Chains A and B, each alone.
Chain A
Amino acid sequence: MNAPSTRKPAIDLRRYRFVRAAVGVWMTGVIGFAFLRDIPSLEILEHTARNLYFHVPMWFTMMAAVIVAAYHSARYLATDDPVRDVRAEQAARVGFVFGLLGILTGIVWARFTWYVGQGIWWNFDPRQTMVAVFLLIYGAYFTLRSSIDEPTRRARVAAVYNLFAAATMPFLTYVVPRQMPSLHPGAEGSPAFSETDLAPVMRPIFYAAIIGFIVLFWVIYTQRVRTALLEEELEENPL
C-alpha cells in the first residue's frame, strides 16, 4: 500500500506558476532590450558593453545564493530540520552554476577588451581569482557532502563547513581585492559603480537584468528543492 503523501506543498502552486511565467517573459524582454537597444559606443569596449547586462547580474545572483545557502545552514544548526539542509545544498548548487557562468562571461569579455591583441585568457585580476576561489570553496563543500553517508551527520558537518567558509568570504570579496591593483571598476575604493562607469541609458536594463536573474535563481532553486524533496519521499515510499 502506498502511504499518501503527508507533506503539503509549501507554497501556493498557482502563484508559483505565475511567478515562473512572469520571469520567463521578463527575461525575454531583458535579453531583447540588451541586444537591441542603442548604447553609447566607446573605443575598445564597443558592443561588448552589452555583456554588462549578463556578466554583472551573475555576481549579484551568486552572492544572493551564497547568502541563502549560509542562512539555511545556520537555520539547520538551530532547528535540525532536514528541509533546511536540502535548501542550503540546492542554493549552493544553483549559485555555483551562476558563478561558473559569471566567470565564463568575464573571461570572454576580458579577452576581447582588456587583453585585446595580447591573446591572454586568464590574468591575475584579483576579482577573477577570488571568484575562482569561491567556486573552489563550493567544490570542497560538495566533496565534503559526498564523503559522508549518514544523512544527519552529513547535514550537520556540511552546515558547519558552509558557515565557516561564509565567515572567511568577506576577505575574498572586500579586503583582498582592495589591496591589489585591478582593472575592474571600483578598485579605487567603493565596489559600487560610480556615475561615470555606467551610461544612464544602460541603467534601467541593467537593474531589470539584476532583478530578473535573481528571480530566475529563486525559481530554479525552489524547483530543485521540490524535486529533491520528492526524490527523498520516493526513496522512503516507492510507488
Chain B
Amino acid sequence: MNWMHGAWAVFEKDVRLELRSRYAINMLLMFVLAALLLVLFALGQTPVSARVQAAVLWIVILFSGAVGLGRSFISEEERGTVLLLQLNTHGSMVYAGKLLFNFVLVLVLNLVAVAAFVVLLSVAVPLPGLLLTTLGLGALGLAGATTLLAAIIARTANRGPLLPVLLFPLLVPLLLSVVSATRAALPGGAGWAGAQDELLTLVGFAGVVITASVLLFDYVWND
C-alpha cells in the first residue's frame, strides 16, 4: 500500500467513526463551553487585561485537548482493532493518520473556543490573521505532542487520567509562545512584528515534536 494512501485511509476511518458516534467532538465542545462559562461566572463583571484573556483561552484549550485527545489510541485497544491496524498498515501511516485527525479536531476546537471567547468576553480582535495563524500553529504543536503521548498512555494500566500529567510539562514552551502571540493580536498588542519570535518558536516546537514522534512512534506501536 502506498504511504499517502494508507495514512489517508486511517484518517478517513477515524473521521467516519467520529461522525457515527460524535463522541470526541461533542465532549470537546461541551468541555470548552462549560469551562469558558465557568471562567466567566468566576470573573463576573470585572474587566480583564489582554494577558489574562489570552491565558484563560489557552488554558481552557489545553485542558480540553488533554481530556479529549487521549481517546485516539485507547479506542483502538478497546475495540480490539490494534492488531488489525498493525497487520495492514505501517506504523508511520497510523501515526500520520491519527496526527491529521487530531489536528483537525484541535483546529475545530480552537475555532469554536475563540468564537465563544470573543462573543462571551466581548473581546475585540484587531488582527484576526495573526490570531488565526497562532491558532493553527498552536493546534499543530498540541496535536503533535498529544498523538504520541496518547499512544503511550494506551499502553499503561489505568489509561485515562495520566495524559495531562505527561502532557502539561512538555507543553510549557508552547503555552508561553502561544499566549504572547495571542496577546499580540488583541487590542494594545505588539502586532505581527512583535509576535515574530513567538511564531517562529511555535513552528520550531511543532517541527521538533512531530519529528521526535515519527522517530519514536514505532517503538510504542509495535509492542
| Bound form: Cα–Cα A78–B170 in Å | 24
Decide if B209 touches A167 in the complex (CB within 8 Å).
yes
Decide if B173 touches A175 in the complex (CB within 8 Å).
yes
Q: Given the interface contacts A164-B212, A164-B216, A168-B208, does A175 sit within 8 Å of B201 by beta carbon?
A: yes
| Bound form: Cα–Cα A149–B204 in Å | 35
B176's nearest neighbour on chain A, judged by CB, is: A176
Decide if B205 touches A171 in the complex (CB within 8 Å).
yes
Residues of B within 8 A of A140 (CB): 165-166, 169
B170's nearest neighbour on chain A, judged by CB, is: A168
Q: Given the interface contacts A167-B212, A176-B173, does A160 sit within 8 Å of B165 by beta carbon?
A: no
| Bound form: Cα–Cα A175–B166 in Å | 21
Decide if A164 touches B158 in the complex (CB within 8 Å).
no
| Bound form: Cα–Cα A76–B53 in Å | 44
**B223, CB-defined interface residue at 8 Å:** yes
A135's nearest neighbour on chain B, judged by CB, is: B169
| Bound form: Cα–Cα A172–B152 in Å | 23
Residues of B within 8 A of A144 (CB): 152, 156, 162, 165-166
Q: Secondary structure of the A side of the interface?
A: helix
CB distance from A148 to the nearest CB of B (A): 5
Among the 9-residue stretches A2-10, A151-159, A196-204, A216-224, the one with 4 or more Cβ atoms under 8 Å from chain B is A151-159
A168's nearest neighbour on chain B, judged by CB, is: B170
Residues of B within 8 A of A130 (CB): 172
**A39, CB-defined interface residue at 8 Å:** no
CB distance from B12 to the nearest CB of A (A): 27
Decide if A171 touches B219 in the complex (CB within 8 Å).
no
Which residues between 149 and 188 of chain A lie within 8 Å of chain B, taking CB atoms? 149, 153, 156-157, 159-161, 163-165, 167-168, 170-172, 175-176, 179-180
Decide if B156 touches A148 in the complex (CB within 8 Å).
yes
Residues of A within 8 A of B168 (CB): 136
Interface string of B184-223 (1 = CB under 8 A from A): 0000000000000110010011001101110010011001
Chain A residues proximal to chain B, CB less than 8 Å? 77, 130, 133, 136-137, 139-140, 143-144, 147-149, 153, 156-157, 159-161, 163-165, 167-168, 170-172, 175-176, 179-180
Chain B residues proximal to chain A, CB less than 8 Å? 145, 148-149, 152, 155-158, 162, 165-166, 168-170, 172-173, 176-177, 180, 197-198, 201, 204-205, 208-209, 211-213, 216, 219-220, 223
